[in-house]
């Protein structure tokens, strides 16, 4: 850690110590302007962080941290296409994928990437027009009704989450399905409802070597060929990849291949041709609005000072909770059924990016990095795990996301959704003291001994920090901005934590070991060198699996 960062870090430790005994309800009581002082507005978005355990001193130190960590300089390096993914010697230029045409250049190794980006987008648009216009016909001459995206990780989670999030904007003639898991149950379940003649497969893989995707693609191909013959592949398979050589080897017509580049990380690739299934699901005009929203958030992140910078504020607050208050997790609680997959998407974005303990100089860190991100849509979560957040005794910073307007408007729903969301944030902040519970039970007419018996169970410590992000509505523009918000939050955290957010060696290690074990499980290699547990598991499978 640089001395200037270490110095602010130390002061933040002291600030956290000073606040340790403060309760959020007292902070609200002491400052009538707390909401105004601890909230930020961007366009028609509101970020309320007044229920975080911060005061003016902590916030001013966090802003200082932003500056001493050289955030503006790191942002400039990202924008300039420098190889900030230093372990893979790659740039991280996902911002170029949503950069509008005619708005200047973005250079990578001395060349402007924008013409190639817009050429692929134009190709995507043409393809969407053909599918939606029913001009693209399958091998039997029928139009496509169902698209199956086969991909995993970044080649699945982004388009899958966004397709669900934008369900209200779905193209009426096309159904889009997602298959990711190596477990045959995933592909088999999706295929069971489909007809080969009207199904199009999108094989999405940055590397085009990922075991899960290649196995699912091969099985999908076999399913199609069994019904329509080998020649049908050209009309029913398209590919999305950086590895066009492997795409051709798989047998997909190069004319049906959509390209992207190694400077796009898998979990940052939604904006590229990886977004093809999403564009097919919502129409290309809506996909462009998603890109516009992300670009608007890029501009905000690049220019806004830390006190008004939404990704920056989220990053600084998470660092406060993680490194100074000792939280090891964050609950992500969208009060939106459409955003139900957002926690899963952010698990990859945040934990695969920042789940690291080696700094940019190759040295072990002595501070925590990414918390465990978990959660699910409200109000469902309230009836599952909220009990533990209220009374489980753990520090669980919560992030509520809710829209002012409903995306599916049935009378009577949205007001209740908002009421539940705000009520949870209030209850977690305020809690309920033993005295309040006692008074409440007494005034309900319970006998004194019953009041004394029940009051401890029905009291709540509160002081659970939360942030509420209030969006106007869930539409393509706002969803694009929301995803970009989290991408930049992750980047800002990585700068302060001094880690590379763009590699994922832990995942690569798992892939390497699985490739080594496969021939052993297939009975083509022996178990020499394996630990006794792995050997025992494999032996158990082989001894107890019945043939057929
Ligand atoms: O999950 C690990 C990972 O490497 C991700 O980063 C990536 O999004 C995913 O695998 C899939 O990789 P590919 O797109 O190359 O198939």
493 and 345 belong to one structural domain:
yes
User: How many domains in the chain?
Assistant: 3
Nearest CA to ligand 1 atom 10: 153
295 and 235 belong to one structural domain:
no
The reported pLDDT for the residue numbered 338 is 98
> Which structural domain, as residue segments, surrounds residue 349?
3-81+289-430+464-497
CB of 182 within 6 A of ligand 1: the answer is no
Which of 228, 249, 282 is a domain's end point?
282
Would you say residue 88 lies in a domain? no
Catalytic residue among 103, 135, 383, 524: 383
The reported pLDDT for the residue numbered 546 is 74
Q: Is 352 a catalytic residue?
A: yes
Catalytic residue among 2, 86, 416, 511: 511
Would you say residue 439 lies in a domain? no
CB of 196 within 6 A of ligand 1: the answer is no
Q: What is the mean pLDDT of residues 448-476?
A: 98
Q: What is the mean pLDDT of residues 474-499?
A: 98
Q: pTM (2 decimals)?
A: 0.96
Q: What is the mean pLDDT of residues 70-77?
A: 98
CB of 242 within 6 A of ligand 1: the answer is no
Report in angstroms the alpha-carbon separations of 4 from 15, 16, 58, 69, 321. Answer: 17, 19, 17, 8, 21
Q: What is the mean pLDDT of residues 33-57?
A: 98
Average pLDDT for the chain? 96
Catalytic residue among 318, 352, 487, 493: 352
Distance from C-alpha of 308 to C-alpha of 74, rounded to nearest angstrom? 18
259 and 331 belong to one structural domain:
no
243 and 327 belong to one structural domain:
no
- Of 206, 350, 351, 355, the residue with max ligand 1 atoms within 8 A of its CB, to mutate for a pocket test, comes to 206
Q: Is 488 a catalytic residue?
A: no
The CATH number for 249's domain is: 3.40.50.10490
419 and 360 belong to one structural domain:
yes
Distance from C-alpha of 205 to C-alpha of 151, rounded to nearest angstrom? 6
247 and 385 belong to one structural domain:
no
**Residue 1: which pLDDT band, with cuts at 50, 70 and 90?**
confident
Would you say residue 226 lies in a domain? yes
Report CA 329 to chain centroid distance, whole Å: 15
CB of 267 within 6 A of ligand 1: the answer is yes
CB 402 within 8 A of CB 468: yes
CB of 38 within 6 A of ligand 1: the answer is no
Would you say residue 339 lies in a domain? yes
Atom number in ligand 1 closest to CA 241: 14
CA-based end-to-end distance of the chain: 58
Dihedral sign for Cα atoms in the order 50, 55, 57, 61:
negative
- Of 92, 150, 153, the residue with max ligand 1 atoms within 8 A of its CB, to mutate for a pocket test, comes to 153
275 and 145 belong to one structural domain:
yes
**Residue 511: which pLDDT band, with cuts at 50, 70 and 90?**
confident
183 and 40 belong to one structural domain:
no
CB of 158 within 6 A of ligand 1: the answer is no
CB 121 within 8 A of CB 98: no
pLDDT at 548 over 60: no
The reported pLDDT for the residue numbered 409 is 87
The reported pLDDT for the residue numbered 547 is 64
486 and 513 belong to one structural domain:
no
- Of 85, 152, 268, the residue with max ligand 1 atoms within 8 A of its CB, to mutate for a pocket test, comes to 152
Would you say residue 11 lies in a domain? yes
Distance from C-alpha of 23 to C-alpha of 140, rounded to nearest angstrom? 68
273 and 330 belong to one structural domain:
no
26 and 135 belong to one structural domain:
no
Q: What string of DSSP letters covers 194-235?
A: --GGGEEEEEE-SSS--HHHHHHHHHHHHHHHHHH-GGGHHH
275 and 300 belong to one structural domain:
no
């Amino acid at each position: 850690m640089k001395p200037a960062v270490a110095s602010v870090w130390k002061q933040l430790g002291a600030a956290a110590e000073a606040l340790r005994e403060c309760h959020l309800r007292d902070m609200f009581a002491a400052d009538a302007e707390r909401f105004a002082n601890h909230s930020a507005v961007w366009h028609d978005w509101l970020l309320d962080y007044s229920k975080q355990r911060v005061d003016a001193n902590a916030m001013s130190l966090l802003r200082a941290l932003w500056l001493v960590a050289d955030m503006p300089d790191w942002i400039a390096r990202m924008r300039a296409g420098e190889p900030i993914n230093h372990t893979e010697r790659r740039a991280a230029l996902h911002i170029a994928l949503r950069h509008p045409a005619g708005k200047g250049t973005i250079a990578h190794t001395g060349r402007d990437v924008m013409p190639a980006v817009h050429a692929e987008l134009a190709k995507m648009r043409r393809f969407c027009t053909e599918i939606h216009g029913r001009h693209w016909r399958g091998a039997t001459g029928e139009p496509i009704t169902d698209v199956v995206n086969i991909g995993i990780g970044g080649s699945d989670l982004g388009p899958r989450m966004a397709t669900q999030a934008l369900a209200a904007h779905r193209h009426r003639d096309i159904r889009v399905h997602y298959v990711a898991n190596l477990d045959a149950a995933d592909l088999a379940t999706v295929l069971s409802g489909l007809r080969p003649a009207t199904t199009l497969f999108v094989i999405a893989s940055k590397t085009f070597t990922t075991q899960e995707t290649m196995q699912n693609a091969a099985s999908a191909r076999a399913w199609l060929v069994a019904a329509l013959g080998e020649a049908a592949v050209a009309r029913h398979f398209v590919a999305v990849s950086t590895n066009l050589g492997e795409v051709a080897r798989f047998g997909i017509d190069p004319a049906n291949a959509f390209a992207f580049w190694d400077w796009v990380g898998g979990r940052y690739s939604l904006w590229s041709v990886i977004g093809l299934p999403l564009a097919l699901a919502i129409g290309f005009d809506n996909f462009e609005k998603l890109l516009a929203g992300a670009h608007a958030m890029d501009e905000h992140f690049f220019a806004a000072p830390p006190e008004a910078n939404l990704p920056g504020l989220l990053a600084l607050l998470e660092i406060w909770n993680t490194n100074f208050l000792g939280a090891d997790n964050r609950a992500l609680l969208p009060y939106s059924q459409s955003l139900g997959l957002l926690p899963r998407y952010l698990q990859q974005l945040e934990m695969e990016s920042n789940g690291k303990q080696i700094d940019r100089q190759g040295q072990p860190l002595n501070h925590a990095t990414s918390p465990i991100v978990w959660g699910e849509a409200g109000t469902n979560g309230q009836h599952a795990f909220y009990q533990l957040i209220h009374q489980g005794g753990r520090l669980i910073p919560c992030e509520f996301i809710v829209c002012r307007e409903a995306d599916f408007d049935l009378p009577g729903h949205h007001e209740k959704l908002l009421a539940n969301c705000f009520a949870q944030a209030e209850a977690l902040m305020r809690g309920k003291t033993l005295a309040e519970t006692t008074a409440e039970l007494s005034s309900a007419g319970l006998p004194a001994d019953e009041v004394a018996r029940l009051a401890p169970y029905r009291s709540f410590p509160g002081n659970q920090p939360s942030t509420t992000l209030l969006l106007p509505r869930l539409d393509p523009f706002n969803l694009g901005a929301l995803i970009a918000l989290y991408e930049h939050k992750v980047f800002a955290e990585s700068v302060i934590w001094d880690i590379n957010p763009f590699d994922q060696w832990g995942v690569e290690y798992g892939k390497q070991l699985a490739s080594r074990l496969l021939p052993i499980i297939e009975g083509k290699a022996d178990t020499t060198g394996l630990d006794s547990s792995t050997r025992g598991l494999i032996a158990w499978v082989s001894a107890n699996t019945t043939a057929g």
